[in-house]
Amino acid sequence: MNSHLALGAATLAALALGACQPAADSDKAFGERVHSYLLAHPEVLEEASQKLQANQDAQTIAAQKAAERRLPSLRAALERDPRDFVANPNGKITVTEFYDYRCPHCEAMAPKLLALIHDRPDVRFVFKEMPIFGATSEHAAYAAIAVEKSGGDYLGLYRGFMSTQPLDEAAIDRIARTKGARGADLAPNAANTAQLAATNALFNKLALDGTPGFVVGDRILSGDDMPALEGAIDAARKTGAPS
């Protein structure tokens, strides 16, 4: 049980039992009484769970609204960082994606995003390496940066990484080399470590809680919801949102 939920349920149970316990009542006895009460009144747990979820939802919405208010000050870092690979650089509507090559939701979105880039040249697409699944994901991000810096086939690498299972370090190095990375550039260095740190800071300022995450105009989106992304692109086009 969630510790906050357990605490809330126990507090409610204590109130129902009269709250104040005699000094002679041991912690064990009190715990047994709470346990018995909860077994007899499971609706207390349901009410506590609903209250906790409502509080978490309110906090999430507040964080998202605060992040959207910060977007104007983050626009340059989001859309014009010269270190990022950009597809359709002359497009009028900018989409920024934060992703991890080993994230199953990112993998599900990848072919749809590649089709979008191909079919909609008016969509300027910014790629932000955001490894969240440990050292192997970080290695993949370093390899992708190496391909971008070498002027190699970044979209081909993105497609290859997202479609390879399992994506281990050997597969990462093999694909990266075929797409133009130089072997010496695959390891971490000060420049690419700083780039990933900047992306991570930006990700946190946007209150994103996982990958994939997208920014389109004045909207922040999470998850593998292609209809929502396409809707945000259409809305940005109609409103002339900044890009």
Contact 228, 221 (CB under 8 A): yes
The pLDDT of residue 13 is 46
Q: How far is CA 120 from CA 89, 107, 113, 162, 219, in A?
A: 12, 20, 10, 21, 19
- CA terminus-to-terminus distance, the chain: 45
Nearest to residue 101, comparing CAs of 187, 145, 160? 160
**Distance between CA atoms of residues 232 and 218, nearest Å:** 9
Strand 93-99 to strand 123-129: parallel, antiparallel, or no bridges (unpaired)?
parallel
Peptide bond before residue 166 is cis, with ω within 30 degrees of 0: yes
The pLDDT of residue 17 is 45
The pLDDT of residue 98 is 98
Cα radius of gyration (the chain): 24
The fold of 80-239 is Glutaredoxin (3.40.30)
**How many Cβ atoms from other residues are within 10 Å of residue 224's Cβ?**
18
**Distance between CA atoms of residues 33 and 191, nearest Å:** 60
Strand 219-222 to strand 123-129: parallel, antiparallel, or no bridges (unpaired)?
unpaired
The pLDDT of residue 160 is 98
Nearest to residue 242, comparing CAs of 96, 132, 33, 120? 96
Q: Classify 206 as helix, strand or coil.
A: coil
Two structure tokens written together for 204: 């946190």
The pLDDT of residue 193 is 96
Tens-level pLDDT at each residue, the chain (243 residues): 444 444 444 454 444 444 444 445 577 887 788 888 878 888 877 887 777 767 665 666 666 777 888 899 999 999 999 999 999 999 999 999 999 999 999 999 999 999 999 999 999 999 999 999 999 999 999 999 999 999 999 999 999 999 999 999 999 999 999 999 988 788 899 999 999 999 999 999 999 989 999 999 999 999 999 999 999 999 999 887 655
Strand 219-222 to strand 93-99: parallel, antiparallel, or no bridges (unpaired)?
unpaired
Q: Give residue 142's Cα distance to chain centre.
A: 19
The pLDDT of residue 223 is 95
The pLDDT of residue 21 is 46
**Distance between CA atoms of residues 47 and 19, nearest Å:** 18
Q: Classify 95 as helix, strand or coil.
A: strand
The pLDDT of residue 151 is 95
**How many Cβ atoms from other residues are within 10 Å of residue 125's Cβ?**
22
